[in-house]
Amino acid sequence: MEGIGVLMTCPMFPYLEQELEQRFRLHRLWDFPSRRRFLEAHAGSIRAVVGDTKVGADAELIDALPGLEIVATFSVGLDKIDLGRCGEKGIRVTNTPDVLTDDVADIAIALMLGVLRKVCGCDAFVRSGKWKSGDFGLTAKFSGKSVGIVGLGRIGSAIAKRAEAFGCPISYCSRSEKPHVSYKYYPTAAELARHCRILVVACALTEETRRIVGREVLDALGPEGVLINVGRGAHVDEPELVAALLEGRLGGAGLDVYENEPEAAEELFPMDNVVLLPHVGSDTVETSTAMADLVVTNLEAHFAGKPLLTPVI
């Protein structure tokens, strides 16, 4: 397989690069001054693309690679891949579900604790020396607060399981009510937001869920409410969110994703009721390694004519 051309779209994880390099002829898109220059040199030899949440495989790239057979994304999210175009051309697509579920759910809870108990703010307080002049003050209790989950898939369910251990009553909204689930169902995000203190976005990004959290949902959540986003920046109307926070119409927010990464809403930087993370949901050594192994195994399976492990199409 050493001769098989694989294109990696951006730096992701050194271990993944090494593993791909050992097995295939790896091309790094970022080594070239432009996409156009890369395509001029190597378009014909590329049979696989490895993308991620920053740079995926859009229609333009897919069309420019005549030999493309498979797109293996280093993520579970598929919003950066033109699935329609892949389908039309019979190109296979794989992602990395399950292996990152726990890590993303952990970050969701970390954000909840961070916003309510001001863990980051307390740390900054101590580091600045202010503790010598007085105590920090009160923070909001987390245990027992109602949690509403937008999207009760793998990640949403894992978040629910963790929040339950803190005594949090769980409710959710989803495309349709899930049978065999004991949590309370609401048909819309706004209805859900009216009935919970902490709203967490954990669904996939699709046309229906784009800006699923807008003014109506934020108003329903209210000045004591907290928004947590571990989905995609595009799930939330970011200007509305920023305004609601600055004006005190929303109690707080814990964000791992933003509309325009790596630009995180700068207006929020001075606020102590927000926690801002640089899209680290699945960023642990253990999970990144497992994800990388999944990408490599899927590619090897494809080129050996064996069944894919985690196909999307």
Partner 1 sequence: MAPNSPFINFPNSTVHSSQVPITPLESWLPMASRAAPPPLPRRPPPRVLLLRHPHHFSLLDRPLPDGFRFLKPWESPLPLDGFLSSAEARSAEAILTSARAPVTADLLRRLPEVRLVISTSAGHNHIDLAECRRRGIAVAGAGDTKSEEVADLAVGLLIDVLRKVSASDRYVRRGLWSSEGEFALGSKLGGKRVGIVGLGRIGLEVAKRLEAFGCAISYNSRKKKPHISYPFYSNVHELATNCDVLVICCGLNEQTHHMINREVLLALGKEGVIVNIGRGPIINEKEMVQLLVQGELGGAGLDVFEKEPYVPEELLGLDNVVLSPHAAVLTPETVSNLCDLIIGNLEAFFSNKPLLSPVLDE
Among positions 17, 21, 69, 102, the unique one binding partner 1 when judged by CB under 8 A: 102
37 catalytically annotated: no
In the three-class reduction of DSSP (H, G, I as helix; E, B as strand; rest coil), residue 219 is classed as: helix
Rg (Cα) of the chain, in Å, rounded?
A: 21
18 binds partner 1 (CB under 8 A): no
Stretch that binds partner 1, among 24-32, 61-69, 75-83, 123-131 (CB under 8 A): 123-131
Phi, psi angles (nearest 5°) of residue 275 = -125, 130
138 binds partner 1 (CB under 8 A): yes
Among positions 114, 156, 231, 251, the unique one binding partner 1 when judged by CB under 8 A: 114
- List 27's β-bridge partners, or say none: 7
Helix (H) or strand (E) holding 89: helix 83-89
96 binds partner 1 (CB under 8 A): no
120 binds partner 1 (CB under 8 A): yes
Say whether the peptide bond before residue 187 is cis (omega within 30 degrees of 0).
Answer: no
Of 47, 197, 232, 302, catalytic:
232
DSSP string, 63-77: HH-TT--EEEESSS-
Give me 215's structure tokens: 């003014």
30 binds partner 1 (CB under 8 A): no
**Least distance between partner 1 and beta carbon 247 (Å):** 21
Among positions 107, 212, 221, 312, the unique one binding partner 1 when judged by CB under 8 A: 107
- List 73's β-bridge partners, or say none: 51
> Is 312 in contact with 78 (CB distance < 8 Å)?
yes
164 binds partner 1 (CB under 8 A): yes
Euclidean distance between CA atoms 154 and 134, whole angstroms: 44
Positions marked catalytic: 232, 261, 279
Footprint on this chain of partner 1 (rule: CB under 8 A): 11, 102-103, 106-107, 109-111, 113-114, 117, 119-120, 122-127, 131-132, 135-144, 161-162, 164-167, 261-264, 266, 269, 275-278, 280, 283-288
